[in-house]
A and B are shown apart, each in its own frame.
Chain A
Amino acid sequence: MLLLYFVAAGVAIGLLARGDLDRLAAVRVSWAPVAIAGLVFQVVLFSGPVSSAVGSWGPALYVGSTAIVLLALLRNLEHPGFRLIALGAALNLVAILAYGGQMPASVEAYRLLTGHEPVPSAGFSNSVVAPWGSPLLWLGDVFVLPRPIPLANVFSIGDVFIGLGGCLFIVRVMGGTPPART
């Protein structure tokens, strides 16, 4: 949830730079319903009863829904910051695919976040704990936003790119040329 800090920072920086939120309202994002549907789908997928029921379909459903949302993002590369978001998403997806449909998190990052050893989850999770030195783990969740900071979680280098891209999008759009009125 580190990302919500980037979104808030984007709005704050945009306002401090005398940007205009109205310009944000005028942006046209293609395939927007796909992004919203993707989020709703994944929230349901990772909810307790569903994550237990999906079984071996979990990784495919997770990777498939993420890939569709990435495709929707690629339809919008003309927007500022979206190339950075796409780069971060690609880095995350490489790590997720390398681990069979789950994002690897380092044991150390997990311990720092939770204060205890990893315990297996009951249902399908989009994350798997991996020991330090595992292949491509550096693309996984190796950083920690520690507690008691609100929204504490582990995060990856790809997440940082995605967050920076989102922040850049908001700042640039708010400070951009106002749309022509007809």
Chain B
Amino acid sequence: MIAIVDYQAGNLASVQKAFYHLGFESVITADPEMIVRASKIVIPGVGHFDATAALSGSLQQAIVSAIHRQIPLLGICLGMQWMFESSQEAPSLRGLGLFGGVCEKFPTKVKSPHVGWNQLQACASSRLLRQVPENCFVYFTHSYRVPVVDATVAGCEYGGNFSAAVERENCFGVQFHPEKSGNPGLQLLRNFCEL
């Protein structure tokens, strides 16, 4: 069972709807027991980094325990940002620190939020992006971004290059919304389900 972590940050149902469409069962839950037992974990979410405060404590423990057991973890948008060290959006909070780097605001020379379809620029081999067309367009909507790091497997250009997808062992993060990115996004989610 795929556990979609409910921490009251935006629309979780659309992620579940995509899994259902692909024929995979998932459950939206805030129960650490369910997360510990899950075969895969998704941390979705949109909105302010403040919302990730709800992940600290027992939810975070359950997620960390799953990572140690090599359970695949996918962070989407704010969920991906939380996998980094911290965010300028809420400097007092800590992220999970799975990936090095701090989420930062877009430069003022471009409009923010970055909303719309932008191109992936693959820069390393990726299990998550298998059969996702190179340079395909995916849907972004975010005001903060994470820098390009060692684990970056695809970048994106908007007021400079940033990480669109990161991957290390069984930990994955995407800044865009695969559940809202048409066929390329559904392919990515299928890849995650089939890990």
- A and B form one complex: no
